[in-house]
Chains A and B, each alone.
Chain A
């Protein structure tokens, strides 16, 4: 058994993301069906990979009940028609679920336990609203283990504005407008569609439809349009629906493999895993999580932020991206950051987003063979951050 092997990202796809709620794309579509579609598309796009050689299916979901329960990695593998010999499991690190699915199977590949795995995530926040069925231990508050605002993500974003007084609402709005603009351009250039798998959407009263593009983006968003939006988490606050990601439904998945096995099957590795790290922070300012996780990942890789040519950072809130950029001395509009736009435009179906970041980074790498390293990073509820450093194979 090889002690350590190179791990590569081969291919990533996702369903178009939808807005949650009764009018949303996926109002009457099951979460597990979204995952099934992603798995089948990955297999279809990579015909060299024999289905029985998939050694693991790791699927993340934050709320693991109903159609996101039943050990969704295994149940989706069966529903997708993978051989019954292919195992699967469910994984949860809230927003970093899919990212953790990738790092976990990558660890297994590196150790030699697997050759090839499918990793991804799903969140149907319409069917499973954030916090559905949670039962927080009363000790959190009675012993002041966390602040009362820690479990309401929008409040943690307001708290982050407090910690970084220099990050104003205007800066957050400007970042949001830019995210929408970049996303619109990426769409116009056909950068996004190639990794979307069309998803059938049936509504009893309307019949069958087909989702082919993301529903959340709002091209043409302006500063004026954002200025007067409500600040639901704090009166006269700074966090609005305009400078935050939305409440969304969607699923992602990718093929992760040992580099030698990928080449044996004729698959084209797009990027090589260099290092990864997760870190904990105070839950009431969970948005700063990517800072310590990135520092740790850089240290493990023997790299500095200056070596990183592309950054895919999840835009749960504009303020959380800006805090990261401010910490590392990167300009708000640095072209290395989210070149295709981010979650403010595309949406953030919690546990699925990690693989969207990786898919975008892999495509950006292909356009920038001059860039050697990039990162995918995101903040996580309950005060965490996660970062994966990748090497460009284009």
Chain B
């Protein structure tokens, strides 16, 4: 059987609900008498919010179009263009998550190659007109064409496969490095996907040499067609450098080192992509594409990819429709915001509220100097944004005008939302809220940015405890996307709805959590860190303890995180948690010593363990191996997550994972954390069952 028949047979009945991207073909008479172009428009029939993707049916539709085109002898060229604002964004991920056998996985790779490579193997030249977003397989379609133009208005071009746990395996690893050289190709294939899935713009794609010509969006199609006519008539010459002469090994080895630093082998995809790129310099098309098929088949059947697709879905969907949030219509308008305190956190919050809500924000503090410093910080940050061209001078004036300071809380009288960011002490916070309640309206929301105190306790002495809600940001406030919204015992739906509405306007991903000690992220990080520090207390060499969890590919090691948070804060949280759950949360002796010694962490400025700190930690008598530390920490996590779910801290394991991805930066290939605990068997060992059903974030065997 031919490739196409085999693939069709294997994929028969799969993806029954695929949104099929059609390949609409129209003849276009090119200008200057350059002949007829068969122009293929990729269009799934929906608007730009539902971009073109490719599942088996879409691939077969494109194949049919190419069959008809290949049978003609009257054509001068073939073109491919997207629907308005979208070229194509790659493979249908829903279908990828449902692949159930290696044969099927292999068929997906082969079918993609079979269809896409035809664009580069027709009797006439092919042109891709990248008019809108082009990602993954979408960009690969363009790479298979003989020539490419790109619109200067395209907001997103990327090969995000490695971000998810795949490789750009429909030709991307073979064609791109040959087209633009391995160094630039690494940027798209490896570096950007591993940097929060960064995208490039149309202008960047042109500068990198991915496109041969660039035109403005106003008449991109017309000018692209005009350019194609000029190319066909020989009036425009397209020159490309040959990158195959040089040795690619040093560049690829260097990239491998960087990937290792970041992932420590935790996710196979970037390594496979590097192997394939290394092959691309000398491999024939058949060899290269076959190697891509094999890599895709392996990765499509890997749990890392399934966890990645699960994580992607959480971030794309669940983060936008928070579980348990009350009806949006209950939210009250927020036209003025108060911030109690004028410290760094308070100032960061003031800036964020002013930028996103565009309403007046008043900071209060008892000390004029602190107040001036807080408002000054916001104004300076606004000037920085202006300097970078992120906002206009008028916007800068507006933002500065919005943020003011007051020594008294009566400035909150007409505020609808007051958030406190004062010292982490229950009595202090209770006093602050009592004072605020004296001046604000009965419905003004009182929010607390506490990271570990009880929201219920904080509200207990108030006349209107129903208006108090936890609003827990993650540092740096402007960067980390997570917001834990905490419902206290008395919090009413209108308050909660208002908190979710404000969180959304702040462009944060909100997760509803119960009023439990340290909520989700800090509780899990503290538990996890507690086990690692305890192991160090017991005499495990510091390097061994710190690198015991490298195989997870976390964004930083436990002690690096400790350094970032600061030992004093970590100790405070550890003590709070110890008070709440003395059985499970210890207070490491050496952490207290570290704080007493005034050290910023375990590491010195040279990124080596500070010798004095090493001395502090000496004395333990029962060292563990790295593997023992790893298991101990993961078992603790599994236990804690199970307890949190039983307590109803969040609605589902998915919310735990979402919190760890967005609040702690835990990677996609671990799916946050529960898919990793499930697939390593730790969930069942510790808690008696998995967190997620097989197939949700793993290959359904």
Mark A residues whose CB is within 8 Å of B: 36-37, 40, 79-81, 197-200, 202, 204-210, 212-213
Contact A210 B221 (CB under 8 A): yes
Complex Cα–Cα for A377 and B40 (A): 43
Q: Is B26 an interface residue (CB 8 A)?
A: yes
Our pick among B45, B81, B219 for the contact of A208 (Cβ within 8 Å) is: B81
B43: min CB distance to chain A, Å: 6
Contact B222 A204 (CB under 8 A): no
Q: A205-B24, A210-B28 are in contact. Are A37 and B43 (CB under 8 A)?
A: no
Complex Cα–Cα for A200 and B219 (A): 8
Q: A37-B219, A81-B218, A207-B39 are in contact. Are A212 and B24 (CB under 8 A)?
A: no
Our pick among A40, A206, A213 for the contact of B24 (Cβ within 8 Å) is: A206
Our pick among A36, A198, A199, A205 for the contact of B218 (Cβ within 8 Å) is: A36
Closest to B129 in A: A208
The listed residue with most A CB atoms (<10 A of its CB), out of B81, B84, B222, is B222
Q: Is B226 an interface residue (CB 8 A)?
A: yes
Chain B 6-42 interface 0/1 with A at a Cβ cutoff of 8 Å (1 = within): 0000000000000000001110111100000001110
Complex Cα–Cα for A80 and B216 (A): 10
Our pick among A36, A202, A206, A207 for the contact of B219 (Cβ within 8 Å) is: A36
- Residues of A contacting B25 in the complex (Cβ-Cβ under 8 angstroms): 207
Complex Cα–Cα for A198 and B222 (A): 6
Contact B24 A199 (CB under 8 A): no
User: Can you report 24 residue pairs joining A to B where beta carbons are below 8 Å apart?
Assistant: A36-B218, A36-B219, A37-B219, A40-B218, A197-B222, A198-B226, A199-B222, A200-B225, A202-B41, A204-B43, A206-B24, A207-B39, A207-B41, A207-B43, A208-B26, A208-B28, A208-B39, A208-B41, A208-B221, A209-B39, A210-B30, A210-B39, A210-B221, A210-B222
Q: A207-B41, A208-B41 are in contact. Are A37 and B26 (CB under 8 A)?
A: no
Contact A80 B218 (CB under 8 A): yes
A209: min CB distance to chain B, Å: 5
Q: Which of B217-254 contact A (CB under 8 A)?
A: 218-219, 221-222, 225-226
- Residues of A contacting B26 in the complex (Cβ-Cβ under 8 angstroms): 206-209
- Residues of A contacting B84 in the complex (Cβ-Cβ under 8 angstroms): 202
The 5 nearest A-B residue pairs measured at CB:
A207-B41, A207-B24, A200-B221, A210-B28, A209-B26
Closest to B23 in A: A207
Closest to A209 in B: B26
Contact B45 A204 (CB under 8 A): yes
Closest to B226 in A: A198
- Residues of B contacting A37 in the complex (Cβ-Cβ under 8 angstroms): 218-219, 222
Contact A212 B31 (CB under 8 A): yes
- Residues of A contacting B29 in the complex (Cβ-Cβ under 8 angstroms): 210, 212-213
Complex Cα–Cα for A205 and B221 (A): 18
A203: min CB distance to chain B, Å: 9
A284: min CB distance to chain B, Å: 43
- Residues of A contacting B218 in the complex (Cβ-Cβ under 8 angstroms): 36-37, 40, 79-81
- Residues of B contacting A40 in the complex (Cβ-Cβ under 8 angstroms): 218-219
Complex Cα–Cα for A208 and B41 (A): 6
B243: min CB distance to chain A, Å: 32
A353: min CB distance to chain B, Å: 23
- Residues of B contacting A207 in the complex (Cβ-Cβ under 8 angstroms): 24-26, 39-41, 43, 81
Contact A210 B225 (CB under 8 A): yes
Interface residues in B, total, Cβ within 8 A: 21
A352: min CB distance to chain B, Å: 18
- Residues of B contacting A212 in the complex (Cβ-Cβ under 8 angstroms): 29, 31
- Residues of B contacting A198 in the complex (Cβ-Cβ under 8 angstroms): 31, 222, 225-226
Complex Cα–Cα for A79 and B225 (A): 20
- Residues of B contacting A206 in the complex (Cβ-Cβ under 8 angstroms): 24, 26, 41
Complex Cα–Cα for A204 and B84 (A): 10
Our pick among B28, B43, B219, B226 for the contact of A209 (Cβ within 8 Å) is: B28
B177: min CB distance to chain A, Å: 31
- Residues of B contacting A199 in the complex (Cβ-Cβ under 8 angstroms): 222
- Residues of A contacting B31 in the complex (Cβ-Cβ under 8 angstroms): 198, 212
- Residues of A contacting B222 in the complex (Cβ-Cβ under 8 angstroms): 37, 197-200, 210
- Residues of B contacting A200 in the complex (Cβ-Cβ under 8 angstroms): 219, 221-222, 225
Chain B 56-100 interface 0/1 with A at a Cβ cutoff of 8 Å (1 = within): 000000000000000000000000010010000000000000000
Complex Cα–Cα for A206 and B28 (A): 12
- Residues of A contacting B221 in the complex (Cβ-Cβ under 8 angstroms): 200, 208, 210
B152: min CB distance to chain A, Å: 11
Complex Cα–Cα for A206 and B193 (A): 35
B94: min CB distance to chain A, Å: 24
Complex Cα–Cα for A94 and B412 (A): 59
B21: min CB distance to chain A, Å: 12
- Residues of A contacting B40 in the complex (Cβ-Cβ under 8 angstroms): 207
A36: min CB distance to chain B, Å: 6
Complex Cα–Cα for A103 and B29 (A): 36
Complex Cα–Cα for A206 and B29 (A): 15
Interface contacts beyond A37-B218, A209-B26, A210-B222: sample of 7 additional A-B pairs, CB < 8 Å, sorted by A: A79-B218, A206-B41, A207-B25, A207-B81, A209-B28, A209-B39, A210-B30
- Residues of A contacting B219 in the complex (Cβ-Cβ under 8 angstroms): 36-37, 40, 200
B231: min CB distance to chain A, Å: 16
Closest to B81 in A: A208
Complex Cα–Cα for A97 and B438 (A): 67
Closest to B39 in A: A208
- Residues of B contacting A209 in the complex (Cβ-Cβ under 8 angstroms): 26, 28, 39
- Residues of B contacting A36 in the complex (Cβ-Cβ under 8 angstroms): 218-219
- Residues of A contacting B216 in the complex (Cβ-Cβ under 8 angstroms): 81
- Residues of A contacting B28 in the complex (Cβ-Cβ under 8 angstroms): 208-210
A278: min CB distance to chain B, Å: 34
- Residues of B contacting A205 in the complex (Cβ-Cβ under 8 angstroms): 24
The listed residue with most A CB atoms (<10 A of its CB), out of B24, B84, B219, B221, is B219
Chain B 123-139 interface 0/1 with A at a Cβ cutoff of 8 Å (1 = within): 00000000000000000
- Residues of A contacting B81 in the complex (Cβ-Cβ under 8 angstroms): 207-208
- Residues of B contacting A202 in the complex (Cβ-Cβ under 8 angstroms): 41, 84
A31: min CB distance to chain B, Å: 15
Complex Cα–Cα for A36 and B218 (A): 8
Closest to A79 in B: B218
B206: min CB distance to chain A, Å: 17
B3: min CB distance to chain A, Å: 27
B87: min CB distance to chain A, Å: 12
B236: min CB distance to chain A, Å: 15
- Residues of A contacting B43 in the complex (Cβ-Cβ under 8 angstroms): 204, 207
A140: min CB distance to chain B, Å: 42
- Residues of B contacting A204 in the complex (Cβ-Cβ under 8 angstroms): 43, 45
B24: min CB distance to chain A, Å: 3
Closest to B42 in A: A207
Complex Cα–Cα for A212 and B29 (A): 7
A118: min CB distance to chain B, Å: 15
B41: min CB distance to chain A, Å: 3
B76: min CB distance to chain A, Å: 13
Closest to B82 in A: A208
Closest to B84 in A: A202
Complex Cα–Cα for A284 and B355 (A): 62
Complex Cα–Cα for A212 and B39 (A): 15
A348: min CB distance to chain B, Å: 24
B410: min CB distance to chain A, Å: 44
- Residues of A contacting B41 in the complex (Cβ-Cβ under 8 angstroms): 202, 206-208
A391: min CB distance to chain B, Å: 32
- Residues of A contacting B30 in the complex (Cβ-Cβ under 8 angstroms): 210
Complex Cα–Cα for A212 and B81 (A): 18
B50: min CB distance to chain A, Å: 14
Closest to B26 in A: A209
Complex Cα–Cα for A85 and B25 (A): 41
A178: min CB distance to chain B, Å: 27
Closest to B220 in A: A200
B394: min CB distance to chain A, Å: 14
A197: min CB distance to chain B, Å: 8
Closest to A81 in B: B218
- Residues of A contacting B39 in the complex (Cβ-Cβ under 8 angstroms): 207-210
A294: min CB distance to chain B, Å: 37
